[in-house]
Amino acid sequence: MKNYDPNKEKRFNASVVLPYVPRNKFNICVIGTETDVAASKAANSGGMTQDDLKLLNKDKKKVKKLAASYHAFLASASLIRQIPRLIGPGLSKAGKFPAVINTNDSVADKIDEQKATVKFQLKSKKSLCLAVAVANVDMTPAQIQENIVLAINFFVSLLPKNWQQVKRIHMHATMGPSFKIFGM
């Protein structure tokens, strides 16, 4: 039997909330009561009630289509436990299990927070490259800089040896050349 080293298998999955929203076209579905759904519609997001989830009938194709049509899900605290019973494990398999909206939280604020959240996921040990959206073209240079600095510092804090493990950091737009901002 091989010696098991937990540090070798270390994958991280962490997220940080940026001060400015980098993804404006991020679709979010709110699963909750009628008032939660109405508040999400007012914030230009989708919404589903418990009755809408029952119509899916645990059909894998319908749940998979639902998971593909939204980037993230939010659910009210009263319904979060019933979601696996109503639609099955489809959202969990897609990696989009809903975040909780507490009774005293504002739905619009929760949607904005979800849009500003950036998730750092290292999926395999072979490819140690990460790509994260931290800005968009509508932002000012000061806003872009603030988002980039916060995202990089948070990412480096996740690493066991901090800056000693970072070789290079590149930044680039979707359609353009990359710019080296750290490393040789």
Domain boundaries, the chain: 13-17+119-183, 28-114
Kindly tell me if the per-residue pLDDT of 10 is higher than 70: no
End-to-end Cα separation, the chain, in angstroms: 41
Q: Give 119's contacts (C-beta < 8 A, 6+ positions apart).
A: 13, 14, 15, 132
Average pLDDT for residues 27-40, to the nearest whole number?
A: 82
Average pLDDT over residues 18-42: 83
Cα four-point dihedral sign 154, 70, 51, 30? positive
| pLDDT value for 45 | 79
Find the range with the poorest average confidence among 40-49, 79-88, 123-132.
123-132
With bands split at pLDDT 50, 70 and 90, how would you rate the model's confidence at 124? low
Tokens encoding 156? 């480096």
Reduced to 3 states (helix: H, G, I; strand: E, B; else coil), residue 102 is: coil
**Per-residue model confidence as pLDDT tens digits over 52-95:** 877 877 777 888 888 888 888 888 888 888 877 887 777 777 77
The residue ranking higher by pLDDT, 142 or 159, is 142
Top-tier CATH class for 28-114: alpha beta
Give the pLDDT mean for 123-140. 75
Query: Against a cut of 0.85, is the pTM above it?
Result: no
Which whole number is the average pLDDT over 143-149? Answer: 87
CA distance linking residue 85 with residue 12, whole number of Å: 29
Rounded Cα–Cα distance for residues 12 and 155 (Å): 10
